[in-house]
Amino acid sequence: MGKRRFFTLCMVVSMLFFLLSCGLEEFLYIDYIPEVNVDIGTNEVTIQLPPDYTLGYNYFDNFIIFYRIYMSGINPVGKVETPQQRTEINPLLNSDFTSIYPTTDQTSTTVNTSNLANLFFNRRYYLLTLEDAEINNVLSSGSLGGVLKIVFSSNSGEEPTLSLDGGTPYILKRAVDGPGITFNPQPENRYFLNHPDLYNSANANIEINADVAARSSASPPTLYTYVSLYIAATGRSYLTTIYSQPTFIGIFKLPEY
């Protein structure tokens, strides 16, 4: 082979290596929790979490759970599953569910999750927290392959809980902040219990109960509250935060205070 041809071949190989290693952006992806892994009941939800060999979970940090609370005037029996039920509880609940649905559609091939947190925060969904535990640690790599259970008791005064593989039940607590804002939830204990301060429309603002949606009608009287929940995996590659598609995990009536 002549020196000129050898030099040309080396240049081509070098350029190809450069393009493959530096010129093409790495595709970052974390797979979602399949809907079939979620068993939603009337007062609880059980979620089979993905194992650590699931596609993209080499980037995984932890699972996150978004929630929003909705005031209501009705007290239905059974699971909340239909648009009519959601609208009867609170029209904003159905509006939010419908707007978020395209991002949760696991049959879609065009979902973009790069701004997932903003999608939820813009609809005043915030991140679930726990009492006496850091939820990001509870739902970190040690949770992979486990069974997550969230229970909203029907017994008055019994705080809703989250547990992993039948272990310690952690009491759920509401957030205190979101992007660019800090709010002061009422009642101050931040439990997921139905309380007059929680379903008081005057508190449903960005300074107090930013995570609560008021009703547009006062009839029937507002006496109940419900929570809507979504779960997603999140991770990081260098400075890039990665999210999976969120998975809807249910709508539940809050126990009485």
Q: Mind listing the pLDDT tens digit of every residue in the chain (257 residues)?
A: 555 554 444 444 444 444 444 444 456 889 999 999 999 999 999 999 999 999 999 999 999 999 999 999 999 778 999 999 999 999 999 999 999 999 999 999 889 998 999 999 999 999 999 999 999 999 999 999 999 999 999 999 999 999 999 999 999 999 999 888 999 999 999 999 999 999 999 999 999 999 999 998 877 899 999 999 999 999 998 888 999 999 999 999 999 99
Expressed as residue numbers, the domain containing 227 is 28-253
Residue 7, amino acid? F
For residue 141, how many other CB atoms are within 10 A of its CB?
A: 13
Which pTM does this prediction carry? 0.89
- Is 21 within the bounds of a domain? no
Number of domains in the chain: 1
